[in-house]
Amino acid sequence: MTMNFYAVRAIYVFEMARTGRTLWQSIVSPVISTSLYFVVFGAAMGANITEIGGIAYGAFIVPGLIMLMLLTQSTANASFGIYFPKFTGTIYELLSAPVSALEIALGYVGAAATKSIILGLIILATSWLFVPLKIAHPFWMLAFLVLTAFTFSIWADGFEKLQFIPMLIITPLTFLGGSFYSINVLPPFWQTVSLFNPVVYLVSGFRWSFYEVADVHVGVSLAVTALFLVACLAAVWWIFRTGYRLKS
């Protein structure tokens, strides 16, 4: 069976066009929120913590801030993009069209990931206004950015979950995943507990691409990120393949 790239492109273009109509909500608001995070954490904690691993604290938290916004926005973008057609009833037109579940998933996930990647790059550029940055491995920085954006472009089946998942699951995991500190400063027991948090591997690998400093080996971070990507794509494919919670 050949891939219907016209269908993938149509879904992708439609979702990207929606971003243009909601530019403030999709791009401007997250950038302002991240800048406030940077000012508050950089000023409040940077006064007491000057360096971590030889890196100025303000620069150290930049990868964590980008990852925080990337995870929450990837989840929110894909969830809203898929749930809203269900809410309005237009999802039935898509489900009845001669388009495979894989093609639908690629269209929605691709658009959500693209929005998040653009947002991440804008936040990265904005960070240069606050602190001097260096990117030791630009290729791997982009690789982690793209893989993470695709991985967390997942689905929710109700408006309450559009807020519940990012705010009560993704955000706490990110805060506890070494975004604003190194897990090496924790007691040994809590270091071990932190390793069960998948976000630790995402943040650690992303930070390594900047400063060559990581809490876990970069190869492990890359493997965990790729594993989550496969799992999330499989989940979205299954949802459209079976119509789970889309037809009711």
Residues 232 and 153 sit within 8 Å (Cβ to Cβ)? yes
Domain coordinates in residue numbering, the chain: 5-242
Given this model, what pLDDT does residue 147 score? 85
SS3 186: coil
Q: With a cut of 90, say whether residue 117 has pLDDT above it.
A: no
91, 129 in Cβ contact below 8 A?
no
What's the pLDDT at 209?
Answer: 94
Give the pLDDT score at 71: 81
Q: Give tens-digit pLDDT for 76-116.
A: 776 666 666 766 666 777 777 777 777 877 888 788 888 88
The residue type found at 28 is V
Rounded CA gap, 130 and 167, in Å?
A: 26
Mean per-residue pLDDT, 174-183: 86
Confidence band of 207 (pLDDT split at 50, 70, 90): very high
On the question of pLDDT at 169 being above 70, the answer is yes
Give the residue with greater pLDDT, 5 vs 209. 209
What residues form DSSP beta bridges with 56?
51
Higher pLDDT, 159 or 105: 105
Output the average pLDDT for the chain.
79
Of 55 and 165, more confident: 55
Beta-strand runs (E) in the chain: 51-52, 55-56
Termini Cα distance of the chain: 29
As to burial, measured by CB atoms within 10 angstroms (0-12 exposed, 13-18 middle, 19+ buried), residue 209 is buried
Residue pair 112/55 in contact (Cβ under 8 Å)? The answer is no
Distance CA 37, CA 40 (A): 5
Residue 155: both structure tokens together = 């689905």
